[in-house]
Structures are given as structure tokens and as C-alpha cells.
Amino acid sequence: MLRFSVLGALQILTAFGPADISGDLQRTLVQTLLVSEGQPVSGESLAEEMWGDAVPDNQANALQAHVSRLRRRLRDLEPDRPASRVTMHPSGYRLGVGEGELDAAEFIRAVRLAESAAPDDAARTARLLGDALGMWRGPVFGGFAGGTLCQLAGARYEEYRMRAMELRFDAELRLGRHSAVLAELTEAHTNHPLRERFCEQLMIALYGSGRQADALDVFRRMRRHLDDELGIQPSPALRRVESAILSHDPALTGDLRLQPA
């Protein structure tokens, strides 16, 4: 069994340790097949991902040569596997990946489980998402994004990462760990200054840590930033958090998603 990792630089893990895929074209080929999650990818799409506008004249032969090279590499890593992972179909090429073999798929599964968890299961949710976020070793594909298909997949995985962070912070705050997550929330808000949910959570964490003035200052700075960058006002949800802090609303230590009056 192999494990493929794209939440960081492309990596293939074997029973004997990590195995490299050498060459930019080979890495792009593997990444494109992986993010297609078992669905065939047309030869035209693969060629565009690999070569962009510089597709060679003998595109079909060049692509077939790279596919054959990949088959040999994977066969060397799994000599006992009865059939090649890379197969050809009428609609294109497919890389077979089983359950638990692709870190991005496992990560998304964990986020979806967390989204369906009950609010009173905060401890389990925090552990689940802490473990899931630990899968990330760096930028998707190590920053080597390839073409459009890989870039779209990378943006999708990154959005799931943001969602996982939000859900984990919600769970930690429900558990009363306001001070424990302050540093991480500050970093998340600094790195994603237009993502209002991180701002809401940071304000709640500061308030729960006895720092009401700092929480309100975060709101004021966010309001200025939104006005300067986008010409908009804070969302109703963010304004409700400010109002709750000003009125010492007990909901701040209970249901973290304050409902409109």
C-alpha cells in the first residue's frame, strides 16, 4: 500500500519510507491524476497541465512516454501489486487510489465529519481537527501548483483548511480554552485579515481571557480595514459579537454563533 501526500510537497510514502518523483513534468502528471480523485483525466487536459502553451508537436507520444515512466516507477514501489495503478480509459488516464491512500481526501473527510458533529461533542471535534490539520506539511504541492486543474484543487484544499481551522477554534472556545488558542487565532487573523470568522473568534477569545478592551480594539481595526480595502462595513455576525461584548452577553461563553435578535 502506498500513501500519497499533496498537503505539502508531493510525496509518496511506502513501507520503507518516502519515495521521490523526479522531474517537474512527472510531478505535475502525478498531482493532476491525484487531485482528480480516481476519475479519468483526458490526454488534452494532462498535456495542458504539464506543458501549458508549450505542448510538444508529438503531444500524444510525449504524454504516453511520461505515463509509461510513471507506471514503471509505481511498479518498482509496489512490486507485488497485480495490476498497474495507472490505467487508460476512453475518457483518459486514471490513477487508482484507495481509501486512506490520499491525505487530501482523508483531510476533507475529517472536516465533513466535524461539520456534522453535535455542539456538545466539542472535545472529540477538537481532537479530530487537530489531527487533520497536522497532515499539512506546507503549501499544497509545496507551492508547485502546476496548471489550472492543480491550482483549482489547491484552492479547494486551502478553503477546507480554513474551514477546519474555524471549526477547531469553535470547538476549543466551547471548551473554555480561550487563552490557549489566542496565539493561533491572532496568527490566523493576521494572515487572513479579511476572513471575518477569524476576527469574531479572536474577539471572543480575548473577551473570554478577560481582555475586553483588546477585543473591541480588534473590532475597530477590522472595521477600518474592511472600509479601506473593500469599502464595506463589518457583517451582521461580526457586529453582533461586538454588541455581545459590550453588553457582557452570556452567549459568548455558550453558543459561539450568536443569533440575530
Number of other CB atoms surrounding residue 21 within 10 Å: 19
* pLDDT at 175 > cutoff 50: yes
CATH class of 176-260: mainly alpha
Q: What is the pLDDT of residues 134-151, one digit of tens each?
A: 999 999 999 887 899 999
Residues whose CB is less than 8 angstroms from the CB of residue 119 and which lie 6 or more positions away in sequence, other chains included = 174, 255
Supply the pLDDT for residue 143: 87
Using CA atoms, how far apart are residues 76 and 67, in angstroms rounded to an integer? 14
Over residues 171-190, mean pLDDT: 95
Let me know if the fold of 3-95 is the same as that of 176-260. no
pTM for the whole structure? 0.90
Supply the pLDDT for residue 257: 53
Sorted by where each begins, the domain ranges of the chain are 3-95, 176-260
Q: What is the pLDDT of residues 66-78, one digit of tens each?
A: 999 999 999 999 9
Q: What is the pLDDT of residues 117-133, one digit of tens each?
A: 988 899 999 999 999 99
Supply the pLDDT for residue 260: 41
CATH class of 3-95: mainly alpha
